Each structure stands twice: as structure tokens, then as C-alpha cells.
A and B are shown apart, each in its own frame.
Chain A
Amino acid sequence: EVQLVQSGGVVVQPGGSLRLSCSGSGFSFDDYPMHWVRQAPGKGLEWVSLISWDGRSTYYADSVKGRFTISRDNSKNSLYLQMNSLRTEDTAFYYCAKDDGFGTSLYYFDSWGQGTLVTVSS
């Protein structure tokens, strides 16, 4: 069974930094691209970032480009999102999600983590 387990929620001040983590099991982690998707409380879904299976290619939504960095450590079956220069509008549940594509992205998500609430507030 595919499982994606995320780190716990936090509160951070505007301008601050935070790293989210996501641990995968039940599948060959290093064969699949991975994503981060977020959802502001009571709002819709917003794709944030994608990383290729080998970590060599990364993609970002314009809203986070230059502030967030996606990375992965396949030796630890782990995905990360480094979030810098945080803004109040970054407050959201952040989900890690597995791409359904083996070796190449199919750009949709067949498994999701449980979500982590990031609150940016002074």
C-alpha cells in the first residue's frame, strides 16, 4: 500500500522560513516524480511544485517561484519543500502527492499525503 507521511503543522512569522518533509513507502520512491499541492483553508486546490524522479528537473507555480525549493533524497525515500520569504497568503494545507507516471510525469496525482497546515502569521 502506498503511504505518504508528512511532517507536522507549524506557525511561522511573515518573512520566515520552513521546510516541509514527506516520507514515502509502499512503492519504489525513486521511480516516480513527486509534487506539492496546497489548499488555503476553505478554498480550492493549487499546484505548487513538481520534481522529477531523479531530482534533476523541477517546476514551480509562479506564486512561489524564487521563494520555494523542492528537493528529494531518494536514499531516504523523502521529499522536501523549502519555503522562504513566507507570506500570509502562503497559509494553507500542504499536501505531497505522488505522480502516476513511472519514470516520467503524467502530471496527475494518484496518492496523497495527509496534509500539513502551515500558518503564516505574526
Chain B
Amino acid sequence: DIEMTQSPSTLSASVGDTVTITCRASQNINNWLAWYQQKPGKAPKLLIYRASALESGVPSRFIGGGSGTEFTLTISSLQPDDFATYYCQHHNISPLTFGGGTKVEIK
């Protein structure tokens, strides 16, 4: 199985900051990586797929990058609505696995 490792697990930031979350895969997954945002008590929401493709309706301040085994999610100019937990997920082949999550909290 492909193991996904996210860092950091928690990130403290202020409105207007630019933050970057890293996700590493245990083997080459090309660009088969998705990012989700989850708020407390809610279902996750798809942000990015195929490493850098922005889901329809998602603000352009969410930027995905990387390929192979190392990937990033950058959120530029953090907005109040962006404080949430973010998960990466490889979408290469079954079994599908997620990273452990990164909580972006208000500093």
C-alpha cells in the first residue's frame, strides 16, 4: 500500500499569510494526488486533483504542486474561511490512502 505523510500536523497562521503544506508518498504516484479541506462537523470538500488541477468553484489562492513523491498545497493570502484541516490523498490505484491531515489554525 502507498503511505502518505503530511507535514506539519498543525500550522498556526494569521489572515493574509501564505502557508504551505507538504505531502509525501512512499512511492512514485506521478501526479495522482488530491487535496481536501474539512471543517469541524462537515464532510471533506475537494480542492485539487491531479496534483494541480483546481476543482470548479475553488478559489485560485489554493495552489497545488509537485509530482512523483513530493507535493505541496499552498494557500496564498489566508482568509478566515480557510482555517480548517487539510488532507492529501493519492488517487493512483486501490487501496486509496490519505495523509494524516494538517490543521491550519489561527495564530
Secondary structure class of chain B's binding surface, majority of residues:
loop
Residues of A within 8 A of B92 (CB): 107
In the complex the two chains form, is B44's CB within 8 Å of A112's CB? yes
Which of B1, B49, B97 touches A108 (beta carbons < 8 Å)? Answer: B49
Contact B43 A108 (CB under 8 A): no
Alpha-carbon distance A110/B89, docked complex (angstroms): 13
Given A95-B43, A110-B46, A115-B43; A44-B95 close (CB under 8 Å): no
A109–B97 contact, CB under 8 A?
A: no
Shortest C-beta distance, B11 to chain A (Å), equals: 16
Q: Is A44 a contact of B87 with CB atoms below 8 Å? A: yes
Instruction: Give the bracket for the number of chain B residues in contact with chain A.
Output: 20 to 34
Q: Are B98 and A47 closer than 8 Å at their CB atoms?
A: yes
Q: Which of A46, A62, A100, A114 is in CB contact (< 8 Å) with B49?
A: A100
Minimum Cβ distance to chain A for residue B51 (Å): 11
Contact B43 A114 (CB under 8 A): yes
Tell me which residues across on chain A come within 8 A of B96, comparing CB atoms: 35, 47, 50, 107
Which residues in B have some Cβ–Cβ distance to A below 8 Å?
A: 1, 32, 34, 36, 38, 43-46, 49, 55, 87, 89, 91-101
